[in-house]
């Protein structure tokens, strides 16, 4: 499994942000992670990327247990947080070179990979600008480029299209679909059409617990609307 979560729990004092989550994601799957605000989506993603330590349970990414092999798990993961934390005074290429070096890349290999990411993520016309000068859409492209720079097996994207206009939405969705080839992708969103357009499967979480986990094809065969299922299960 690319991602294996077993009885994963995170508590803050008396409050359980997530409560005994268990799910598996197979290699190559694109899975939408849905839930209302405060459901525990971002907390789960931070646990899977090693930014938070769980109170209990287990998380394994690309065969590496985050409790015992956190660095190996992180090397196998590309992560775009909800609030895309870019160094706004850095130039686009400078930033990607910096991130690549953090992953141990160097020399011609690093420069070739940066060039590949600039082209793949459509940053060519903006590559000589500072990140702080970019539009929201291009900042998201830069964030996706940094998540992909080390060619991770697993891609975790937390609300990657929040705040984008309709044209930017279409561009980033296409970019995710393109870059997700041969990768396992878990991404959260509030946009049902996005899940329907990109995902093989959906996991719905509410109050820290999974309330649905189903292939989209199964919902369609039943004649069920994803929006209706979400509304009923998160009411």
Q: Assign 3-class secondary structure to 9-78.
A: EEEECCEEEEEEEEEEECCCCEEEEECCCCCCHHHHHHHHCCCCCCCEEEEEECCEECCCCHHHHHHCEE
CB atoms within 10 A of CB 154: 21
The total number of residues shown for the chain amounts to 235
Task: Give pLDDT, residue 30.
Answer: 92
H/E element holding 235?
none
Statement to judge: residues 67 and 159 lie in one domain: yes
Is residue 174, in this structure, part of any structural domain at all? no
- CATH number of the structural domain spanning residue 67: 3.40.50.300
Please give the pLDDT value at position 178.
82
Specify the number of domains making up the chain.
2
pLDDT value of residue 146? 95
Q: What is the pLDDT of residue 206?
A: 94
Block mean pLDDT (10 aa), the chain, length 235: 94 92 93 92 95 96 95 95 93 97 95 94 92 93 94 93 80 82 89 87 94 92 88 85
Domain extent for 104: 82-151
96 and 187 inside one domain: no
What pTM value is reported for the model? 0.91
Asked, for residue 199, whether it belongs to a domain, the answer is yes
Please name the residues in contact with 174: beta carbons below 8 A apart, sequence gap of 6 or more.
none
pLDDT at 203: 96
pLDDT for 87 equals 96
């Amino acid at each position: 499994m690319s991602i294996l979560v077993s009885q994963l729990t995170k508590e803050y004092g008396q409050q359980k942000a997530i409560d005994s989550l268990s799910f598996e994601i197979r290699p190559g799957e694109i899975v939408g992670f849905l839930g209302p605000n405060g459901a525990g989506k971002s907390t789960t993603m931070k646990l899977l990327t090693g930014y938070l330590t769980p109170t209990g349970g287990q998380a394994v990414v690309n065969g590496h247990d985050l409790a015992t092999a956190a660095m190996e798990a992180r090397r196998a993961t590309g992560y775009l947080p909800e609030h895309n934390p870019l160094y706004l005074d850095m130039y686009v290429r400078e930033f990607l070179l910096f991130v690549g070096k953090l992953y141990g890349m160097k020399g011609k290999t690093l420069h070739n990979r940066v060039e590949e990411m600039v082209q793949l993520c459509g940053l060519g016309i903006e590559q000589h600008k500072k990140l702080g000068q970019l539009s929201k859409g291009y900042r998201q492209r830069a964030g996706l480029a940094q998540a992909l720079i080390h060619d991770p097996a697993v891609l975790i994207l937390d609300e990657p299209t929040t705040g984008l206009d309709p044209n930017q939405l279409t561009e980033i969705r296409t970019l995710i679909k393109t870059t997700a080839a041969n990768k396992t992708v878990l991404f959260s969103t509030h946009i049902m059409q996005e899940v329907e357009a990109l995902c093989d499967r959906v996991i719905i979480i509410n109050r820290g617990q999974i309330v649905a986990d189903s292939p989209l094809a199964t919902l369609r065969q039943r004649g069920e609307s994803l929006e209706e299922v979400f509304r009923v299960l998160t009411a």
